[in-house]
Amino acid sequence: MDLRNGFDIKRYIRTIPDYPRPGVMFRDITTLLSSLHGFRAAVDELAWPFLKAEIGYVAGIEARGFILGGAVAHTLGRGFIPIRKKGKLPSRVIGQDYALEYGVDTIEMHADAVTKGDRVLLVDDLIATGGTAGAAIDLIRKSGGEVVSAAFVIDLPELGGAAKLKEKGVKVHTLVSFEGH
């Protein structure tokens, strides 16, 4: 897929077969991040649709969402909110559980990070089943914030995550998609 300026981000994403378990095709963005032009193109394309949007914050999901979300927040001139795994933030937090294939996990953010009426753009590297992103949306809404949109470098459409976020009323912006898991 060529982006507006003809730059093909997809060619900078490495596929690692059978990781973390047999049958999974892991889409690794570290090769994209290590490319000066690839990283810049990804950040620009994630931020571009929101240059004039009324957004107060960009929230990024641990860990690759920190890298991308921080860069998008800088590009948009907005604050950044980290959404982390349980037990990693130093101040008072609120949490949201979400289902995994093998159990339940929890993400957290500082209780004072988002207040009523704050408009937030959620950023992460990949949308698969939508579990983590859906929990992040619930967490932001629990604080009174509004998720304006969710932006991802990669969509795995067969896993249905983007559709689940749209069912929650959240617009989804992705740069590339890969078939399969």
Q: Give the C-alpha separation, 181 to 63, whole Å.
A: 20
Average pLDDT over residues 154-169: 97
pLDDT tens per residue, range 39-53: 999 999 999 999 999
Q: Give the C-alpha separation, 59 to 72, whole Å.
A: 10
Average pLDDT over residues 49-75: 97
Query: What letter represents residue 98's amino acid?
Result: Y
Which of the residues 27, 64, 78, 84 is marked catalytic? Answer: 64
Which of the residues 4, 21, 54, 101 is marked catalytic? Answer: 101
Based on the residue annotation, tell me whether 108 is a catalytic residue of this protein.
no
Tokens of 34: 């290590």
pLDDT tens per residue, range 74-123: 999 999 999 999 999 999 999 999 997 678 999 999 999 999 999 999 99
Asked whether the beta carbons of 156 and 126 are under 8 A apart, the reply is yes
Based on the residue annotation, tell me whether 64 is a catalytic residue of this protein.
yes
Reported pTM:
0.95
Q: Are strands 93-100 and 14-17 parallel, antiparallel or unpaired?
A: unpaired
User: DSSP state, 35?
Assistant: S
Asked whether the beta carbons of 132 and 61 are under 8 A apart, the reply is yes
Average pLDDT over residues 14-22: 94
| Residues whose CB is less than 8 angstroms from the CB of residue 126 and which lie 6 or more positions away in sequence, other chains included | 27, 29, 64, 152, 153, 154, 155, 156
Q: What rounded mean pLDDT belongs to the chain?
A: 94
| Residues whose CB is less than 8 angstroms from the CB of residue 160 and which lie 6 or more positions away in sequence, other chains included | 129, 130
Q: Give the C-alpha separation, 15 to 27, whole Å.
A: 5
pLDDT band at residue 128 using 50, 70 and 90 as cut-offs = very high
